[in-house]
Amino acid sequence: MPDLRGTTITWLGHATVLVQSAAGTGVLIDPFIEHSPTYPKDFKLPGKLDLVLVTHGHFDHIADAIPVAAKHHAKVVSIVEITDFLEKKGVKNTQGMNYGGSFKHADVTITMVEAKHSSSIQDGENVLYGGNPAGFILHIENGPTLYHAGDTSVFSDMKLIAELYAPELGMLPIGDNYTMGPKAAALAAKYLLLKTVLPIHYGTFPVLTGTPAELTALLEGSSIEVLQMKPGESV
């Protein structure tokens, strides 16, 4: 098990992850709740959420951002094109960012990094430009530095992410088809110099075939630990 110095990470199925720092800051990433086949329906989010991070505009990442932000009075953090869209939909508290930029909230510093994917927003019948897709670094004071990759393939500039931010735990998509699969995720974990991988974005739909067992087998002989969690479980 990773030593997270009081930070708790709860995987909520798909790319949805709740991070709670020792000091009590609550961050929910890519809320996909109501229509997610794997969200643990009996799970109760904490009453207080500080930040909702949205990696890109696809439905399985942005779906519940508006209701969750409203209910929990959270600030929504995303690329500027998405926060502009959310503001037009009535979200008042937003932080628009772009690649390389950082933003500090209490004991958590959020940095937006690139992701190799696409991004658009389905708004009723219309498909809107969603800016570029992103990943996030979460640097927690007196705690760990975490990386949520969003939806991405592997890219060699993950070495830059390691050099600049040194995340110890990475939440990496492994499901294949829309993102990297286990083979590329194993290389990503090595480029990122991770200690621990929390596999995400697999098993939600039949097309997302990659498994943590495959990733574990591919990383055998390395020092990188792969967490095998069920939706709703925490480390």
Q: Which is nearer to Ni ion, 56 or 72 (CB)?
A: 56
- The b/e string for 139-178 (b: 16+ C-beta within 10 A; e otherwise) is bbeebbebbbbbbbbbbeebeebbeebebbbbbbbbbbeb
Q: Which residue has the tokens 């990442």?
A: 61
Q: Which is nearer to Ni ion, 81 or 151 (CB)?
A: 151
| Region binding Mn ion by CB under 5 A among candidate stretches 58-66, 80-88, 132-140, 142-150 | 58-66
| Region binding Mn ion by CB under 5 A among candidate stretches 2-10, 23-31, 59-67, 123-131 | 59-67
The option from Ni ion, Mn ion, none interacting with 116 (CB < 5 to 8 A, set by class) reads: none
Provide the minimum distance between the beta carbon of 15 and Ni ion in the complex, in angstroms, as a whole number.
8
Verify binding: residue 60, Mn ion, rule CB under 5 A: yes
Q: Which is nearer to Ni ion, 58 or 139 (CB)?
A: 58
Residues that bind Ni ion (CB under 5 A): 58, 151
* DSSP assigned state of 234: B
23-27 long-range contacts (CB < 8 A, ≥24 apart) are 23/106, 23/107, 23/141, 23/142, 24/48, 25/50, 25/51, 25/105, 25/106, 25/107, 25/108, 25/140, 26/50, 26/51, 26/72, 26/74, 27/51, 27/52, 27/53, 27/108, 27/110, 27/138
The option from Ni ion, Mn ion, none interacting with 72 (CB < 5 to 8 A, set by class) reads: none
Provide the minimum distance between the beta carbon of 47 and Mn ion in the complex, in angstroms, as a whole number.
28
Residue ranges in 143-162 that form contacts with Mn ion under rule CB under 5 A: 151
How far apart (Å, rounded) are the C-alpha atoms in residues 119 and 137? Answer: 19
Provide the minimum distance between the beta carbon of 153 and Ni ion in the complex, in angstroms, as a whole number.
11
Q: Which is nearer to Ni ion, 178 or 191 (CB)?
A: 178
Provide the minimum distance between the beta carbon of 164 and Mn ion in the complex, in angstroms, as a whole number.
25
Neighbouring C-alpha atoms within 13 Å toward the C-beta of 96: 13
Task: Point out the residue whose Cβ comes nearest to Ni ion.
Answer: 58
The option from Ni ion, Mn ion, none interacting with 114 (CB < 5 to 8 A, set by class) reads: none
Residue ranges in 172-211 that form contacts with Mn ion under rule CB under 5 A: none
For residue 63, give both structure tokens.
């779906």
Provide the minimum distance between the beta carbon of 52 and Mn ion in the complex, in angstroms, as a whole number.
16
How far apart (Å, rounded) are the C-alpha atoms in residues 102 and 56? Answer: 17
Q: Which residues bind Mn ion (CB under 5 A)?
A: 60, 151
